[in-house]
Amino acid sequence: MGFIFSKSMNENMKNQQEFMLMNARLQMERQLMMQNEMRERQMAMQIAWSREFLKYFGTFFGIAAISLTAGAIRKKKPAFLFPIIPLSFIFTYQYDLGYGTLLQRMKGEAENILETEKSKLQLPRGMITFESLEKARREQSKFFIDK
């Protein structure tokens, strides 16, 4: 009688462990999906910001280029055209970020760094551990009572 009860209990425990493992895996998948969704939304906001900035900066750049060109022709001083050069770099960068391939190139470079330059990504003093966090918390806490 005890053996049958024990066998049934072992099966129930095994089923419970499998359920807990499946539940933990499902929770982890949901967390990863949520984090990826948040990352995608942040990237979309960055691209949208860049496109919006490009509209305003493009207008400024166009007016500045026309005005500086007109001033250089009128005053016969080509030095008026020099501010167009750095402004054009900013304009090109923003265009490439908003509509070009800058993000794909940055992604490719990031993947290259992750594969070939792993040592540059290490944190000073190594990875943060629970023990190091607890030690820092105890040092900073005035109210900590060590039992």
Instruction: State in Å, rounded, how far the first CA of the chain is from the last one.
Output: 47
**Range with lowest mean pLDDT among 8-12, 19-23, 44-48, 100-104:** 8-12
Average pLDDT, the chain: 90
What span, in angstroms and rounded, lies between the C-alpha atoms of 97 and 50?
7
- Positions of E strands within 13-145: none
| Closest among 66, 90, 61, 91 to 80, alpha carbons compared | 66
> Domain residues for 36?
1-98
Instruction: Report whether pLDDT(131) > 90.
Output: no
User: Is residue 9, in this structure, part of any structural domain at all?
Assistant: yes
Query: Has residue 8 been placed in a domain?
Result: yes
Q: Render pLDDT for 40-75 as a digit per residue (tens, 0 to 9).
A: 999 999 999 999 999 999 999 999 999 999 999 999
In a domain, 107, yes or no: no
Does residue 140 form part of some domain?
no
Q: How many domains does the chain have?
A: 1
b/e per residue 124-138 (b: at least 16 CB within 10 A): eeeeeeeeeeeeeee
Q: What band does 31 get if pLDDT is binned at 50, 70 and 90? A: very high
Residue 137 pLDDT level (bands cut at 50, 70, 90): confident
Contact present, 81 and 72 (Cβ < 8 Å): yes
pLDDT > 90? residue 146: no
The CB-side HSE value for 144 (13 A sphere, CA atoms) comes to 10
CA atoms within 13 A on the CB side of 44: 6
In-domain check, residue 124? no
Average pLDDT over residues 85-111: 95
Asked if residue 129 is part of any domain, the answer here is no
Instruction: Decide if 125 is inside a domain.
Output: no
Q: Is 123 helix (H, G, I), strand (E, B) or coil?
A: coil
